[in-house]
Structure 1
Amino acid sequence: MATIALTGAASMAAQAQSCTSLDDLQWLLGSWHYQDASKQMMERWQRVSAHTFEGIGASETENSGGDRDIEILRLTEMSGEIFYLAKVSHNALPVAFKMTACRDNEAVFENPEHDFPSRLEYRLLDPNRLRVSVAGTKGKRFILNFRRPLQ
């Protein structure tokens, strides 16, 4: 019984191992699309250097009259840590989120000082499906289930 518990604990520790570079997040690269009855969204990520991924996010709601909200996104390695930066139209400056957890096909970014969102969780479910959980400090939360576009 003790052997099983120790083996399970060692396995969990290996899975919780932190990412050390953007190489560990390459699964995020490419285009991702989300659509429901009232909203369409897209995120596209590309590697621009050994220490930087750049992304763009766009969303359009049914009642927007064709207007799109655009986010300029960046993942960057700085001082041995990874940060997610988001520049949206309603904020004068980009908002930074520090990567606080990372394991195979999952990364969590947090900024407890920001009201919404304060936590972003990216999880690759399979090569063509990405789940993004967006949460705030007061319990507000939503989940986006992205898919890669058909080739």
Structure 2
Amino acid sequence: MKKLFLFFILFTAAASVSAQVSLKSFDFILGKWEMNTKGAKIVERWQLHKDSLTGQSYQFKGAGDSVLTESIVLKKIKGEWTFCVTGYEKNNLGTTHFKLVGSENKTFTFENKQHDFPQQITYQNKGKTELLAWIEGNIGGKHRKMEFPYKRVE
């Protein structure tokens, strides 16, 4: 009985988070974003559609050759905002869904506790020219977090 009650409370809380958020809440992510890493540049490009956002992430190495690493669709599924990631890199193939679990202080957190890594994806609005994204979760019993500080280029 306690487990059923806890599930109901968690389900109700997740549903209320999605109900408070509209597609317009994610406008800050639209456009082209870049970040530099050792030996590569990562570019994310986001577009608005009627009822969703789509994003693509590319990695540029050396002479400017690019590789599509993932495609993203941010849309409502069964009334809940869902971050759907399709990976194209080795060991990162297939589509994984992350449900919106938090939306406070211009920060949106999506979660899938069953995924190997990451279990959470977060995007934070840092103003017109900066966007901070991070992924986190457990790998082999250890908590890991990777940050992606982007700068707007379009």
Same fold (TM over 0.5): yes
Equivalent in the alignment of 1:86 = 85
- TM-score, normalized by length of structure 2? 0.76
Unaligned runs of 5+ in 2: 1-15
Distance of 1:67 and 1:21 partners within structure 2: 33
Residue 137 of structure 1 aligns to which amino acid in structure 2? N
Equivalent in the alignment of 1:68 = 67
Higher Cα Rg: structure 1 or 2? Answer: 1
Among all aligned residue pairs of Structure 1 and Structure 2, give the percentage whose two residues are the same amino acid: 22
Equivalent in the alignment of 1:23 = 24
RMSD of equivalent CA atoms: 2.2
Residue 53 of structure 1 aligns to which amino acid in structure 2? L
Equivalent in the alignment of 1:58 = 58
Distance of 1:129 and 1:107 partners within structure 2: 15
Equivalent in the alignment of 1:8 = none
Aligned structure 1 segments of 4 or more residues deviating by more than 2 angstroms: 17-20, 36-39, 64-67, 90-93
Distance of 1:25 and 1:68 partners within structure 2: 26
Alignment of 1:7-18 (within 5 A): 18=17
Query: CA 1:124/1:20 → structure 2, altered by over 3 Å: closer, same or farther?
Result: closer
- TM-score, normalized by length of structure 1? 0.77
Q: 1:37: how far off?
A: 3.1
On the 8 A contact 2:112/2:120 being kept in 1, the answer is yes
On the 8 A contact 1:110/1:118 being kept in 2, the answer is yes
Unaligned runs of 5+ in 1: 1-16
Residue 52 of structure 2 aligns to which amino acid in structure 1? T
Structure 2 SS opposite 1:25: helix
Equivalent in the alignment of 2:36 = 35
Equivalent in the alignment of 1:10 = none
